[in-house]
Amino acid sequence: MKIAVQHLARIEGHANLVIDSARGTLRELRLEIVESPRFFEAMLKGKHYTEVAPIAARICGICSNSHTLVSLCATEQALGIEVSEQTRILRLLLAHGEILQSHLLQLFFLAIPDYYGVSSILPLVRSERALVGHALQLKKLANDICRIVGGRPVHPVTPTVGGFLRLPEAAELQGLRRDLVAALPDLEASVDIFAALDYPDFERETEYFSLRGDGDYPIFGRRLVSSAGVDCAVADYQQVIEEYLVPHSNAKFARLSGESFMVGALARLRNNFDHLSPMATQVAAALEVGPTTCNPYRILAARLVEVVHGVERAIHLIDDLLLAGLAPEELPTPKGPGWGAAAIEAPRGLLFHAYRYAADGRIEQADCVIPTAQNLANIEADLRALVPQLLSSGREELTRQCEKLIRAYDPCVSCSTHLLTVDFA
Amino acid sequence: MKPKVGFFDFTGCEGCQLTVLNLERELLDLVELMEIVEFREISSDQGEALDIAFVEGSICSSAEIRRLKAIRARSRQLFALGACADTTGINALCTDRTSEQLVGEVYGTAVGHLRYRHPRPLEAFVKVDGRVPGCPIDGREFLAILQSLLIDRMPELPTYAVCAECKLLELPCTFERGVVCLGPLTRAGCDAHCIAEGDRCRGCRGQVDAPRSGPYYRILEEHGLSEEDILNELRIFNLSGEKRG
């Protein structure tokens, strides 16, 4: 039996799935990345530090805020710039806004159709009006956070090296806080919806890799940890992640201690369960996801736990900002050239940018490692374990379960800064 | 019969499709007014004849050229969605190096089998009936364009520059901060969004039909800026050299 799914639907970017089996044994399985490479690292070379983040944002429309923020942090590390507490809190709020936006899009628009047996959310507009209502209400709220803090949801305008070009008005933040509190019933309804889903029964232990929060569930951070014992500074990421080429495939894969590892919502949740907000901890119990969960289909549940955590944190971050009062700040100036690396927990997991700047303030060398590149080997390893269990269930069911598994990771192939791709022409 | 509409993407960040999905308040109405028959990012349906195709992203491979031509063949109207499809946008930043150089810089020399061509806009390969400019597109402008199409009229883009919109909003001129702004050259329609948000205009919507260079040079001189300063800025979003080649 040969199965080839061209241009997998409901993921960001272009990938094909190829499965080849004979007489009940799996002969070949590949996740082909057919997105054209975009050479961002080469494009950033020679660019002045003031234009680096707006270019880096364009790596990905879905996580443009994460790319912007981690790019700014790497530049600031390299140039010796310290940001204020106000900037730090605003950046956290913006990052939470994007995680909410991306998670809600994935959960309701990309994943739910699999569990309701439809091809997209569009048929649900009629049959499940309440569900679609909750989804749109929450998604709009997430976008409002990005709009008020970052200027627009896709490719933010206000974040800049050293701070912000425009601050939100206190009244906007107060309105946002009101809306966040008012959205709690939508969240409760969402938890009910996702607690009722029938997640496939499949488990596979792997290595879980994320930032480790310092007193808070991590977004920005300086310490990397994995369930297999990695514990190092972010600046040393190139020493612990080994990127390698696979002969059969077209994408650069990555490994830590073993052959594959997982980044993203479930890895974060497992490594930082003690830092979840009180409400999120309760929701994790309701959704049956915790520090020992190793069913990749339940990444959906981990994502929803993070949505609840994000809403609660956003409310507190707004309180902090309103209490201190927002004040315009002078943007700090660079101290000098150098190398800097930064990591952020983007919606799909660890995202690294590292730059070396020359004395004229222009980039000499850039490296960007995206979450999906790190997850690819793990998705393939999961599929290899899953497919033999399903070979007797028929082509249609097998394809459906594989696609569902791939989608659970929310792969973002558009982000291909250096996923290696081949033209099969 | 409701018009059948499809959304497609090639090489790009999918941020323009996301901007369409971010129209939360209007999305339910849109679903009533048109039949969205294809939208790979959110749907697994595909394949039929279309009234309108919105296409995001640049074209970088022979497989992409074939797929684009197939979409064109079954679409009554085809619109470029966003800068990458319209002018190559940010993707054109890599065209100052050969593809061999690019592959070598990012992947090392170990990769002999990678076939890659420089990104180009849709109109290098197929007839494009119209466009939604910007990086990303402006959601309001998309709705206005869609509205025209739904009543069977060709939408028109503003023929004046962002500078005019900026003046109407009475925003302080970016040049007064000693910062280069592409507002005088760039096509309006975004309500000078980036300038209103404290940044400068980076020219993501492409140039207005007949930019007036005389007055622009005068602005540069007045603020002690050079032609090279402008070109540096223009190169980020406006390097569409291979458009009709």
* Same-domain status, B136 and B179: no
Least confident of A79-93, A183-197, B11-25: B11-25
Q: For residue A106, give the H/E element and its range.
A: none
One domain for residues B12 and B122: yes
In a domain, B242, yes or no: no
Q: Do residues B171 and B195 touch, judged by C-beta distance below 8 A? A: yes
pLDDT at B245 over 50: no
The per-residue pLDDT for range B109-144, each reduced to its tens digit, is 555 555 567 899 999 999 999 999 999 999 999 999
Q: Is A346 a residue whose pLDDT tops 90?
A: yes
pLDDT digits (tens, 9 = 90+) for A167-186: 999 999 999 999 999 999 99
What CATH number is given to the structural domain containing B27?
3.40.50.700
In a domain, B22, yes or no: yes
Residue where a domain stops, chosen among B119, B150, B181? B150
Indicate whether B54 pLDDT > 70: yes
Q: Are B11 and B130 in the same domain?
A: yes
Residue A333 sits in a domain whose CATH number is 1.10.645.10
For residues B64 and B180, state if they share a domain. Answer: no
Q: Under 8 Å CB-to-CB from B5, ≥6 apart: which residues?
A: B34, B35, B36, B37, B50, B51, B52, B53, B54
* Least confident stretch, A206-210, B57-61, B80-84: B57-61
Q: Does B61 touch chain A (CB under 8 A)?
A: yes
What's the half-sphere exposure (Cβ side, CA atoms, 13 Å) at A327? 7
pLDDT at A271: 98
Cα A50 from Cα A55, distance rounded (Å): 10
What confidence tens digit (pLDDT) does each residue in A182-233 have? 999 999 999 999 999 999 999 999 999 999 999 999 999 999 999 999 999 9
Whether B52 is covered by a domain: the verdict is yes
- Structural domain includes residue A425: no
Whether B146 and B192 map to the same domain: the answer is no
Subunit contact B19:A422, Cβ cutoff 8 A: no
Q: Is A258 on the interface with B (CB under 8 A)?
A: no
Q: DSSP states of B158-221 as a string? A: --SBHHHHHHHTTPPPGGGGT----TTTBB--STTHHHHTTS----TT-B-SS--HHHHHHHHH
Average pLDDT over chain A, rounded to an integer: 91
Q: Which of A261-270, A284-293, B171-180 has the lowest mean pLDDT?
A: B171-180
Domain count for chain B = 2
What is the count of structural domains for chain A? 1
Residues B115 and B210 in one domain: no
Q: Tell the burial category of A182 from Cβ atoms under 10 Å away from its Cβ (0-12, 13-18, 19+).
A: exposed
User: What's the pLDDT tens digit per position in A376-416?
Assistant: 889 999 999 999 888 888 888 888 899 899 999 998 876 55
Inter-chain residue contact A61 with B22, CB threshold 8 Å: no
Checking if the pLDDT of A423 tops 60, the result is no
Q: For residue B42, give the nearest of A14, A110, A137 by CB distance.
A: A110
In this predicted structure, which of A325-339, B92-106, B180-194 has the lowest mean pLDDT? B92-106
In a domain, B91, yes or no: yes
Q: What is the mean pLDDT of residues A127-155?
A: 96
For chain A positions 47-76, those within 8 Å of chain B (CB to CB) are 48, 51, 54-55, 58-62, 64
Please report the pLDDT score of residue A421 as a whole number. Answer: 34
Helix axes B227-237, A49-57, angle to 10 degrees: 20
Q: Do B23 and B128 belong together in one domain?
A: yes
Would you call A249 an interface residue with chain B, using a CB distance cutoff of 8 Å? no
Picking from A36, A137, A157, the nearest residue to B194 by CB comes out as: A157
Closest CB to A61 among B97, B136, B197: B136
Q: Which residues contact B159 (CB under 8 A, 6 or more apart)?
A: B187, B208, B209
Q: Kindly state whether residues B17 and B138 are assigned to the same domain.
A: yes
Q: Is residue A58 part of a domain?
A: yes
- ipTM, two decimals, is 0.93
- What is the DSSP code string of A340-379? EEEEEEETTEEEEEEEEE-TTSBEEEEEEE-HHHHHHHHH
Q: Average pLDDT of chain B?
A: 87
CB A269 within 8 Å of CB A300 = no
DSSP helix/strand/coil, A255: strand
Q: What confidence score (pLDDT) does residue A420 get?
A: 37
Banded pLDDT at A248 (limits 50, 70, 90): low
Number of C-beta neighbours around residue A188 at 10 A:
15
DSSP codes, A169-210: PHHHHHHHHHHHHHTHHHHHHHHHHHHTS---------EEEE
pTM of the model: 0.94
Hey, are the CB atoms on B43 and A152 less than 8 Å from each other? no
User: Do B100 and B116 form a contact (C-beta atoms < 8 A)?
Assistant: no
**Percent of chain B predicted with pLDDT > 70:** 90
| Contact at CB, B18 and A61, closer than 8 angstroms | yes
- Decide if A26 is inside a domain: no
Q: Residue A252: pLDDT above 80?
A: no
Mean pLDDT of A72-95: 98
Checking if the pLDDT of B244 tops 50, the result is no
- B157-191 pLDDT, tens digit each: 999 999 999 999 999 999 988 888 999 999 999 99
Write the DSSP symbol of residue B92: G
Q: At which of B150, B179, B195 does a domain end?
A: B150
- pLDDT, greater one: A24 or A35: A24
Q: Are residue B22 and residue B110 in the same domain, yes or no?
A: yes
In a domain, A157, yes or no: yes
pLDDT(B43) > 80? no
Predicted confidence band of residue A365 (pLDDT cuts 50, 70, 90): very high
Q: What is the DSSP string of A9-57?
A: SSSBS-EEEEEEEETTEEEEEEEEE-SPP--HHHHHTT-BHHHHHHHHH
pLDDT interval class at A130 (50, 70, 90): very high
What residue numbers bound the domain in which A205 lies?
39-242+269-363
Predicted confidence band of residue A120 (pLDDT cuts 50, 70, 90): confident
User: In angstroms, rounded to a whole number, what is the distance separating the alpha carbons of residues B43 and B55?
Assistant: 15
Check residue B14 and report its DSSP letter.
Answer: S
Query: Measured between beta carbons, which residues in chain B are less than 8 angstroms from residue A154?
Result: 15-16, 18-19, 22, 136
Greater confidence (B210 vs A101) lies with A101
Which residues on B lie below 8 Å from A157 (Cβ)?
193-194, 197-199
Q: Comparing A119 with A173, which gets the higher pLDDT?
A: A173
In a domain, A150, yes or no: yes
Q: Is B197 on the interface with A (CB under 8 A)?
A: yes
Query: How big is chain A, counted in residues?
Result: 425
Q: Is A249 inside a domain boundary?
A: no
**Is B114 within 8 Å of chain A by CB?**
yes
Q: Is residue A260 part of a domain?
A: no
Going by pLDDT thresholds of 50, 70 and 90, the confidence category of residue A250 is: low
Q: Identify the domain containing residue B81 by its residue range.
A: 4-150
Residues 162-191 of B with CB under 8 A from A: none
What is the token pair recorded at B209? Answer: 């039909």
Residue of A6, A33, A39 for testing the chain B interface, max B β-carbons within 10 Å: A39
- In this structure, the answer to whether residues B10 and B126 fall within a common structural domain is yes
The Cα A219–Cα A221 span in angstroms is: 6
